[in-house]
């Protein structure tokens, strides 16, 4: 059995950013989004092979992370993959954006960048793609 090319998508919104991966034959192991209505759009478009791949909730929540890692283990067992080929993440960055002139306390949102890095380091995909703002390089993420 040929192993599929795979990816995990964090902060995936309605899944538009993953469309190119699907068009190029990649299989979605799991997709995580805070808002269930966005996951419904992904489900409607058959983004994931298995219904359990649609994971709603805050990625900093241990139960949400447990579901993500459980889905990855399922793929490792069923499809004999060692690791995902790609992790895609577009964590919120309003507090780091130069376009956000009305910054409030964005610490909880900005800390999601750190959460996505932690998940990536634990999973160790072959590649990762992070979309974020230029200001992230100037921001002191160590305070999270």
pLDDT band at residue 11 under the 50/70/90 scheme: confident
Look at residue 98 and tell me whether its pLDDT is greater than 60: no
Task: Report residue 3 as tokens.
Answer: 């192993």
CATH for 82 = 3.40.50.150
Across the chain, mean pLDDT equals 83
Residue 64 lies in a domain: yes
Q: How many domains would you assign to the chain?
A: 1
**CA triplet 113, 115, 120: central angle to 5 degrees?**
95
* CA 24-39-73 angle, 5° bins: 70
For residue 136, being part of any structural domain is answered with no
What average pLDDT does range 75-98 have in this prediction? 82
What pLDDT is attached to residue 112? Answer: 76
Phi-psi region of 5 (alpha: psi -120 to 50; beta: other; left: phi over 0): beta
Mean pLDDT of the 113-118 span: 84
Structural domain boundaries, residue 58: 6-90+115-129
The total number of residues shown for the chain amounts to 144
Q: What is the pLDDT of residue 19?
A: 85
CA 44/CA 92 separation, integer angstroms: 24
Q: Is the pLDDT of residue 137 over 60?
A: no
pLDDT at 5 exceeding the cut of 90: yes
Q: Has residue 134 been placed in a domain?
A: no
Q: What pLDDT is attached to residue 104?
A: 57
pLDDT band at 116 (very low <50, low <70, confident <90, very high): confident
Whether residue 71 is contained in a domain is answered as: yes
Distance in angstroms (rounded) separating the CA atoms of residues 12 and 117: 15
Position 97 in a domain? no
50 lies in a domain?
Answer: yes
In a domain, 98, yes or no: no
Q: Exposed, middle or buried by CB within 10 Å (0-12, 13-18, 19+), for 117?
A: middle
- Residue 108 within any structural domain of the chain: no
């Amino acid at each position: 059995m040929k192993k599929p090319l795979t990816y995990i998508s964090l902060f995936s919104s309605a899944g538009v950013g993953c469309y190119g991966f699907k068009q190029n034959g990649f299989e979605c192991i799991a997709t995580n989004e805070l808002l269930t209505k966005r996951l419904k759009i992904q489900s409607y478009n058959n983004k994931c092979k298995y219904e359990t791949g649609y994971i709603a909730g805050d990625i900093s929540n241990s139960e949400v992370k447990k579901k993500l890692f459980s889905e990855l283990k399922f793929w490792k067992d069923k499809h004999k993959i060692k690791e995902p080929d790609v992790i895609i993440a577009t964590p919120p960055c309003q507090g780091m954006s130069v376009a956000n002139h009305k910054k409030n306390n964005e610490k909880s949102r900005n800390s999601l960048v750190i959460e996505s890095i932690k998940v990536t380091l634990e999973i160790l995909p072959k590649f990762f793609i992070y979309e974020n703002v230029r200001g992230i390089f100037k921001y002191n993420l160590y305070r999270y």
